[in-house]
Amino acid sequence: MKSFLLFSLIRVYSILAEYPEERRCGSKMENLWLDVVLVVDNSKGMTKDGLTAISANLASIFSDAQIGINPSNPKTTRIGMVTYNSNATVDAHLNYDWPKNNDVLNFYSTMSEISEDSTSYVAHGLQAAQNLLYSESFGSNRSHYKKVIIVCASTFKGTGKNDPIPVANRLKGRGVKILTIAYDQGDEKVVEELAKISSPGLSFKQDANMTLIENTLLEVNCFCPSSNWYQYRTPGQSYGTCIQPVGMSAVWFAALASCQLRWNTSYLASEFTLDKHQFVFEIVKRTPQIREPYAYHIGLRRIDGEWYWDQPTGLLPVRDYKNWGYDYPSQSKKLSVGMNFENSGKWMEWKNVDPRFPSNYVCETSTCDTDNYCDASVDDH
């Protein structure tokens, strides 16, 4: 009898301890998997001290990452390097075997020395980086790896054919993220100017917290398997989940099976918070195949009288956030799954229905990130 009571208490505690929480992006720099090109200004104005500072800064940022190629571990980062002044030089290709000092990458020994040329055109550095990515990353067996260009510059110049903005826009149009780090050597406007070529939110000063830049790289390495999925975001926060509305009717368990086939560990969408509920609805409204009045299955189901979110790892009880419509949930045992429906006030609420009720549905899956490597088939989903 005592054993039975103890088991019951453990079971109750384990259910209570499981609190629904939105998946976060991976946070392990040692599992970073990117293709990166460093674009470093080595014109006279940068100075030798500036280059040594850049080298130390970059070595610190990538100190935990696995650099190079490891056939047994796809979670690696390749790093190429371009230096530029009035011209650009490729100092290291993406498969370069970087030397180390005391187990820290030694960028300085590979970097071209400070030039006597005081002219500095970042457009030339970006063009060389573009050529490197196009020839060694796009179309390769790492074509599905996210691509990043890190520009370290002390000035921003160029108009006409030397204008860096057109080449930066071309790169960003191909999905390349451009991160800029301004090294102030007397040009106070360089941060503002470099922001013109950086991806949104990826422009930094030389004294930026290293953790901030690492977190930015981790966020770049957090993405959905394909353009058919939409990463869940709130202002200032990207989460480790993606959703995909499906504008075809299916009964609840058929919808669940359909979601499970769409990508690894995919399932019917959960709504742990009002923010997530509203995000899902906004994406649904942008889906041409789903029309008003809006209605769609989500991952709610009732078991033994309790409501749960159906997850790949098991069932999570519905906790603080609940969005039941008026007079719902019905206590009828036949109405054992949940869906969103549009009420008369155009507000989306939950109601429980018979599992055989057909409706559109919304799938959810984990992002590709440092905790979850995605192979080249990401483009097929």
* Contact present, 118 and 44 (Cβ < 8 Å): yes
| Boundary (domain end) residue, out of 188, 220, 252 | 220
Helix-helix angle 210-220:48-61, to 10 degrees: 60
CA–CA gap between residue 199 and residue 147 (Å, rounded): 12
CA–CA gap between residue 190 and residue 184 (Å, rounded): 7
* Contact present, 33 and 221 (Cβ < 8 Å): yes
Beta strands in the chain (DSSP E): 34-41, 78-84, 88-92, 100-101, 104-105, 146-153, 177-182, 203-205, 230-234, 237-250, 267-268, 295-303, 306-311, 314-317, 337-342, 348-353, 359-366
**Per-residue confidence band for 345, with pLDDT thresholds at 50, 70 and 90:** confident
Is 152 in the same domain as 198? yes
**Per-residue confidence band for 7, with pLDDT thresholds at 50, 70 and 90:** very low
pTM of structure: 0.90
**Per-residue confidence band for 8, with pLDDT thresholds at 50, 70 and 90:** very low
From 54-63, 178-187, 237-246, the region with the lowest mean pLDDT: 178-187
% of the chain exceeding 70 in pLDDT: 92
Number of domains making up the chain = 2
Helix (H, G, I), strand (E, B) or coil at 376: helix
> Diameter of the chain by CA atoms?
86
Place of tokens 């830049």: 213
DSSP 183: -
203-205 and 177-182: which strand pairing?
parallel
Is 250 in the same domain as 214? no
Is 263 in the same domain as 206? no
CA 176 to chain centre: 13
In terms of Cα–Cα distance, which of 361, 362, 363, 175 is closest to 264? 363
Any domain includes 56: yes
Any domain includes 174: yes
Retrieve residue 223's tokens: 């993405």
Helix (H, G, I), strand (E, B) or coil at 372: strand
pLDDT mean over 307-322 = 94
| Boundary (domain end) residue, out of 170, 200, 220 | 220
CA–CA gap between residue 327 and residue 317 (Å, rounded): 20
Show the domain range for 263. Answer: 230-380
Is 136 in the same domain as 245? no
Is 250 in the same domain as 171? no
Is 242 in the same domain as 198? no
Is 87 in the same domain as 153? yes
Any domain includes 14: no
Residue 313: which CATH number? 3.10.100.10
CA 184 to chain centre: 30
Is 262 in the same domain as 189? no
CA 360 to chain centre: 27
Residue 194: which CATH number? 3.40.50.410
| Boundary (domain end) residue, out of 192, 220, 248 | 220
CA 19 to chain centre: 24
Neighbours of 112 (CB within 10 A): 17
pLDDT digits (tens, 9 = 90+) for 27-56: 999 999 999 999 999 999 899 999 999 999
233, with CB counted inside 10 A (0-12, 13-18, 19+), is exposed
Any domain includes 1: no
Q: Is the pLDDT of residue 6 over 50?
A: no
Q: What's the mean per-residue pLDDT of the chain?
A: 92
Q: Is the pLDDT of residue 62 over 60?
A: yes
Helix (H, G, I), strand (E, B) or coil at 227: coil
Beta-ladder partners of 306: 303
**Given its phi and psi angles, is residue 206 left (phi above 0), alpha (psi -120 to 50 degrees) or beta?**
alpha
Is 258 in the same domain as 336? yes
Any domain includes 153: yes
Is 138 in the same domain as 241? no
pLDDT digits (tens, 9 = 90+) for 178-232: 999 998 766 668 888 999 999 999 999 989 999 999 999 999 999 999 999 999 9
Helix (H, G, I), strand (E, B) or coil at 364: strand
Is 261 in the same domain as 365? yes
Is 205 in the same domain as 272? no
**Per-residue confidence band for 265, with pLDDT thresholds at 50, 70 and 90:** confident
Q: Is the pLDDT of residue 19 over 70?
A: no
pLDDT digits (tens, 9 = 90+) for 82-110: 999 999 999 999 999 999 999 999 999 99
Q: Alpha carbon of 315 to those of 115, 146, 265, 277: distances in Å?
A: 62, 33, 14, 19
Q: What backbone torsions phi and psi does residue 325 show, to the nearest 5 degrees?
A: -75, 175
Q: Is the pLDDT of residue 25 over 80?
A: yes
* Contact present, 259 and 381 (Cβ < 8 Å): no
Q: Is the pLDDT of residue 381 over 80?
A: no
* H or E stretch at 8: helix 2-17
Any domain includes 24: no
Any domain includes 274: yes
Beta-ladder partners of 152: 40, 181
pLDDT digits (tens, 9 = 90+) for 110-161: 999 999 999 999 999 999 999 999 999 999 999 999 999 999 998 898 889 9
In terms of Cα–Cα distance, which of 121, 127, 118, 195 is closest to 159? 121
Any domain includes 19: no
pLDDT mean over 317-346 = 94
CA–CA gap between residue 269 and residue 24 (Å, rounded): 16
